[in-house]
Chain A
Amino acid sequence: MIAYITRRALYAVPILVGVNLITFLLFFVVNTPDDMARMQLGVRRVTPEAIEKWKAEHGYDKPMLYNGRTEGLGRVTDTIFYEKSVRLFAFDFGNADDGRSIRHEILTRMWPSLALQVPVFLVGLAAYVTFALLMAFFRATYIDFWGVVLCVAMMSISSLFYIIGGQYLLSKLWNLVPISGYAGGLDAFKFLALPVVIGVVGGIGSNSRWYRTIFLEEMGKDYVRTARAKGLAETSVMFRHVLKNGMIPILTGAVVVIPSLFMGALIAESFFGIPGLGSYTIDAIQAQDFSVVRSMVFLGSVLYIVGLLLTDISYTMVDPRVRFE
C-alpha cells in the first residue's frame, strides 16, 4: 500500500513539472516581463526607465533561463525561471504586486473558503443522493418524469442567476440574511447560510440526474432481482442494497474534488464578499496580478493531483478486486 502510494505520488512529479512549464510559457514567453510592465504602467507613453524600475522592483530584471553574468550555480538559479517557477515546488510563492506575502494570504484565506465549501460539499452530496434515490424509487412514474424535467431545467440556468436570484429574494425582499460580507467565529453562520444553499441548489440539476442513472443502472443488476425474489420489500431493496452499491461510484467520483475545496468557489465568494481564496483569485485576475494567478494555478494543480491520488486509494478501499498494480 505504502509502496503504491509512493509510486503514485512520484508519478505526480512530471505532471507538476509540466504544469510549471506551461505556466512559465504562458506567463513569461508569450508575454515578456516588458509587456507586463507596460500593462501595469499603462500601454502608451511609458518610458524605458519606468519599465526597468518596475521590473527591478518585482524581480523580473533577470535573464529567462540562463544567467551568464554570474558564476557557478548562480547561472541557473539567478534567473526568472528559477526564481518564479522552480521555487513554487517548495511552496515559496513570493509576494503579490501589493507587496504582501502570497503564502500568508493563502494560509489566512483558506479558512473562509473551507467554511463555505465543506458544507456545500457535504450537504450537496446528501441532497443530490436523496433526490436521485427518490426519482429512482418512483422510476417510470410522473414523479420521476417531472423530477428529470426539473433537473434539466435547473441545469439550463446559469450559476450567476442562482446567486443573483438568491440574493434578491432572501436578502433584499425577505431580509433573512445579509447580502454579502463575512465574519469569523459563530457569526459566520448567518453570512454563509445563503451561499451554501445556493451552492447546493446550483448543483442539483446535473448531479441528481447523473446519480439517478447510476442508481437505475444498479437496479438492473442481478443481485437486485435476487433480493426482490427472496421477498424483500422495495424500500429495503432500495436502502439496503441499491443505495449502498450505488454510493461506490458516487463517492469515488466525489473524492477527487475534496482537496480542491481549499481553492474556494470563484464566483460565489466574490459575489458574497467572502474573503477566501476564490475571491482572492478573481481579484488577482481582474487586477492582472500574475504572481498570484501563477501561484493559484500551481496550488490548484497540486490539489487536483492529490485528489486523483485519493481517488485511486478510495477505489482500492471500496473494491478489493482492484489490486495495487
Chain B
Amino acid sequence: MTRHLFFGIAISLALGAGWLVVRLTGVEPVALWTDRLVFLLIAVIAGYFFYARGQPHLRLPWRRVTQSAHGMSALVVLSVFIAIGLLDSLHYRPALDGRGARGEIAHSSEVLSVFDAIAKPLTAHRERTYSAPFATRAFARETLEVPGPDGRPRQVREFPRLTSGGAHLEDEAERGRDVLARTTLGLGVASLLWGVIAAVGTFSQARRARRPAREAWRAIWRAETRTPWRAVLITSGVLLALAGPALTLCASYHILGTDKVGRDVFYLALKSIRTGLVIGTLTTLVLLPFAVALGTMAGYFRGWVDDLIQYLYTTINSIPGVLLIAAAVLMMQVVIDRHTDLFPTGAQRADVRLLVLCAILGLTGWTTLARLLRGEALKLRELEFVQAAQAFGVRSERIITRHIFPNVMHIVLITLVIEFSSLVLAEAVLSYVGVGVDPSMISFGTMINAARLEMSREPVVWWTLAAAFVFMFVLVLAANLFADAVRDAFDPRVNVGALVPV
C-alpha cells in the first residue's frame, strides 16, 4: 500500500514539475502522434506489470528473467536507451523572444524535445562540414586570409580551426592534456555513481540474505546472489566508464566527429535511438490486435473462419515483404504530400511518415504470429478445460478471451520481444531502399545512408558509420539477449524466426 502511495506521489510530482516548467519557460508542448502512442505503450506495459504482480504464473517467469545474468545486463543497457528515447519523446516548441500584438507568446516553428534541450552543447555549435573525432581543425582545406609578414592580408590554403571543437584551447598542443583531464573528471563522476549503485546492490542483498554487508559484497562477486548483481554492476560499470568521459568531453569536442553539414555525430547517434525504439515498439502495437484476434479465432473456430484467415495471411505472406512495404510507403507519401495543410511543421510530417511506416510494418508483419497462435489455439481447443467450458454453454468469445488468450500470452510476449531487434535492423535497410523514415528524420538508416558514399573518400570519413554501427549493434545485441532471457523464462521450446523478411 505504501508503495502505491509512493508511486502516486511520484507521478503527481513529475506532472506538477512538468507543468511548472512549461509555465515558466513559456514553451508550447507538442504531442506528436508517435509521442502519444509511445506513452500509451508505456501505460500498457505498466498496467501489464501491475497485473502480473498479482498473478503467480506470470510473476514466476518474470522473476526468472531478473535472475538471468545476460538478461539483466541487457536490461541495464536497454533502460539507458529507453530513458534517452523517452526524453526525446517529450516535444515542445520554444517561445520566441518577441511578443505578438496582443502580448501573447509566439512560438518557433521548430519542434524540439527535452533531450534536445539537455543536449544543447551538442547542437549549439555546428561546424561547416566534416571533422574527425576530437579534431580541432576541419577535415578539408579552406582558403583563409591571414596577416602576411608585411601586414597585408595574404591568402593561404590550410585546415581552419573548428568553431567549437576544441575552440577553448589557446594552444592546440594542449589538447592531449585537456582531454586527459576531462576524461579523469568524467571517470571520477562515473565511479561515484557506480559506487552508489554498488552500495544499493550490496545493502539490498545484505538485507535479503540477513547477512553483513561485507559478506553480501563477497557473495555478489562470487556470483552467488539470486539477482545477478555482479552482471548488473559490471554492465553499469562499463556503461558509466564510457558515458562519464563522453559527457564531460562532448561539450568541448566533437567526440565522434561531425557529418557532412557539420552536425555532431554523437548527437545524431543519440537521436537515432528514439527512431529505432519507436519502430521496434509501435509496430507491435499495430500488429498485436490483428495477430491475436485472427490467430486465435482461426484456431478456435476452424471451418470457414480458419480457411478465410489462412487465405488472408498466405496472400499477404506471398507478397515479397520489402516490395509490399515499399509500395505502401510510396502510396502514403503521395497522400502526405497532397495534404501538407494537415501537418504544418516538418517534424509533424516526418512523424506521420514514421507512424505510417510502423503501421505498414505491423500490417505486413502480423502473419507469423497469427500462424503460431492458430497452431496453439488448435491444440488448446481440444483440452478438457475448454471442452468443459463449451459443455457449460459458455459463449465462444468468452472462451477465447478467458481461456484461450491467457494460455497463448507467452507466445505473444516472446514474439514481440524477439521481433523488436529485427525491426530495428529492418529500419536501416528500408531507409537505404528509400522507403524508410523521412529523409529529414535522424535515424540509423539515414546516418548509414548519408555516410556510405564517403567511404570512397581519401582519407576515409569513417566516424559516422562507426558511430551508427556501435550504437545500433549495442541496441540490437541488448534486445537480442533480453529476448533470449524472456524466451528461456517463459518457454524454451518456442522457436520463432524473424518476422519481417528483410
- Whether chains A and B associate is yes
Task: Find out whether the CB atom of B331 lies under 8 angstroms from the CB atom of A172.
Answer: no
Task: Find out whether the CB atom of B328 lies under 8 angstroms from the CB atom of A26.
Answer: yes
Identify which of A155, A210, A290, A297 contacts B324 (C-beta below 8 A): A297
Task: Find out whether the CB atom of B498 lies under 8 angstroms from the CB atom of A206.
Answer: yes
Residue on B nearest A167 in the bound complex, by CB = B455
Give the residue among A153, A156, A167 with the most B Cβ atoms within 10 A. A156
B247 in the interface (beta carbon within 8 A): no
Report Cα–Cα, A289/B196, bound state, in Å.
Answer: 59
A296 in the interface (beta carbon within 8 A): yes
The residues of B that contact A172 with a CB separation of less than 8 Å are: 455-456
Report Cα–Cα, A308/B315, bound state, in Å.
Answer: 12
Binary contact track B321-332/A, C-beta < 8 Å → 1, others 0 = 011101110110
Identify which of A43, A167, A267, A293 contacts B326 (C-beta below 8 A): A293
Identify which of B326, B429, B484, B497 contacts A159 (C-beta below 8 A): B429
Task: Find out whether the CB atom of B319 lies under 8 angstroms from the CB atom of A296.
Answer: no
A254 in the interface (beta carbon within 8 A): no
CB distance from A152 to the nearest CB of B (A): 5
Residue on B nearest A14 in the bound complex, by CB = B311
Task: Find out whether the CB atom of A293 lies under 8 angstroms from the CB atom of B421.
Answer: no
The residues of B that contact A31 with a CB separation of less than 8 Å are: 330-331, 334-335
Residue on A nearest B337 in the bound complex, by CB = A43
The residues of B that contact A281 with a CB separation of less than 8 Å are: 323
Within 8 A of B (CB), among A295-322: 296-297, 300-301, 304-305, 308
Residue on A nearest B465 in the bound complex, by CB = A164
The residues of B that contact A26 with a CB separation of less than 8 Å are: 327-328, 331
Instruction: Give the number of A-B contacts (CB < 8 Å).
Output: 128
Binary contact track A10-41/B, C-beta < 8 Å → 1, others 0 = 00001100110011001100110001100100
Task: Find out whether the CB atom of B455 lies under 8 angstroms from the CB atom of A164.
Answer: yes
The residues of A that contact B456 with a CB separation of less than 8 Å are: 172
Task: Find out whether the CB atom of A285 lies under 8 angstroms from the CB atom of B421.
Answer: no
Task: Find out whether the CB atom of B323 lies under 8 angstroms from the CB atom of A39.
Answer: no
Report Cα–Cα, A114/B428, bound state, in Å.
Answer: 25
Within 8 A of B (CB), among A259-305: 260, 263, 266-267, 281-282, 285-286, 288, 290, 293-294, 296-297, 300-301, 304-305
Task: Find out whether the CB atom of B327 lies under 8 angstroms from the CB atom of A156.
Answer: no
Give the residue among B314, B335, B448 with the most A Cβ atoms within 10 A. B314
Main DSSP-derived SS at the A contact region: helix
Task: Find out whether the CB atom of B334 lies under 8 angstroms from the CB atom of A152.
Answer: no
Report Cα–Cα, A14/B310, bound state, in Å.
Answer: 12
A213 in the interface (beta carbon within 8 A): yes
The residues of A that contact B480 with a CB separation of less than 8 Å are: 152, 155-156
Binary contact track B405-437/A, C-beta < 8 Å → 1, others 0 = 000000000000000010001001100111100
A47 in the interface (beta carbon within 8 A): no
Identify which of A18, A30, A282 contacts B335 (C-beta below 8 A): A30
CB distance from B464 to the nearest CB of A (A): 11
Report Cα–Cα, A31/B332, bound state, in Å.
Answer: 8
Task: Find out whether the CB atom of B433 lies under 8 angstroms from the CB atom of A282.
Answer: yes
The residues of B that contact A14 with a CB separation of less than 8 Å are: 311
Interface size on A, residues (CB 8 A): 49
State whether A156 and B495 are in contact (beta carbons under 8 Å apart), knowing that A22-B315, A30-B331 are contacts in the complex. Answer: no
A126 in the interface (beta carbon within 8 A): no
B338 in the interface (beta carbon within 8 A): yes
The residues of A that contact B498 with a CB separation of less than 8 Å are: 206
Task: Find out whether the CB atom of B311 lies under 8 angstroms from the CB atom of A23.
Answer: no
Identify which of A19, A30, A290 contacts B319 (C-beta below 8 A): A19
Identify which of B314, B434, B473, B481 contacts A286 (C-beta below 8 A): B434
State whether A156 and B311 are in contact (beta carbons under 8 Å apart), knowing that A285-B326, A293-B326 are contacts in the complex. Answer: no
B452 in the interface (beta carbon within 8 A): yes
State whether A15 and B481 are in contact (beta carbons under 8 Å apart), knowing that A160-B432, A266-B322, A267-B432 are contacts in the complex. Answer: no
A138 in the interface (beta carbon within 8 A): no
The residues of B that contact A260 with a CB separation of less than 8 Å are: 320
B476 in the interface (beta carbon within 8 A): yes
Report Cα–Cα, A267/B433, bound state, in Å.
Answer: 8
Task: Find out whether the CB atom of B497 lies under 8 angstroms from the CB atom of A158.
Answer: no
Report Cα–Cα, A167/B476, bound state, in Å.
Answer: 23
Task: Find out whether the CB atom of A293 lies under 8 angstroms from the CB atom of B323.
Answer: yes
Report Cα–Cα, A296/B317, bound state, in Å.
Answer: 15
A239 in the interface (beta carbon within 8 A): no
The residues of B that contact A305 with a CB separation of less than 8 Å are: 318
CB distance from B127 to the nearest CB of A (A): 24
Residue on A nearest B317 in the bound complex, by CB = A304
The residues of B that contact A160 with a CB separation of less than 8 Å are: 428-429, 432, 448, 452
The residues of B that contact A297 with a CB separation of less than 8 Å are: 319-320, 323-324, 327
B472 in the interface (beta carbon within 8 A): yes
Identify which of A22, A35, A158, A286 contacts B428 (C-beta below 8 A): A158
Task: Find out whether the CB atom of A164 lies under 8 angstroms from the CB atom of B327.
Answer: no
Report Cα–Cα, A40/B327, bound state, in Å.
Answer: 15
Residue on B nearest A304 in the bound complex, by CB = B318
Task: Find out whether the CB atom of B432 lies under 8 angstroms from the CB atom of A153.
Answer: no
Residue on A nearest B484 in the bound complex, by CB = A152
Identify which of B315, B334, B469 contacts A39 (C-beta below 8 A): B334
Identify which of A159, A267, A301 contacts B318 (C-beta below 8 A): A301
Task: Find out whether the CB atom of A285 lies under 8 angstroms from the CB atom of B425.
Answer: no
Give the residue among B328, B334, B481, B498 with the most A Cβ atoms within 10 A. B334
Residues of B within 8 A of A (CB): 311-312, 314-320, 322-324, 326-328, 330-331, 334-335, 337-338, 421, 425, 428-429, 432-435, 444, 448, 452, 455-456, 460, 465, 469, 472-473, 476-477, 480-481, 484, 495, 497-498
Question: What are 12 A-B pairs with beta-carbon distances under 8 A?
Answer: A15-B311, A26-B328, A27-B327, A35-B338, A152-B477, A156-B477, A158-B444, A210-B497, A285-B433, A286-B433, A300-B320, A308-B318
Residues of A within 8 A of B (CB): 14-15, 18-19, 22-23, 26-27, 30-31, 35-36, 39, 43, 152-153, 155-161, 164, 167-168, 172, 206, 210, 213, 260, 263, 266-267, 281-282, 285-286, 288, 290, 293-294, 296-297, 300-301, 304-305, 308
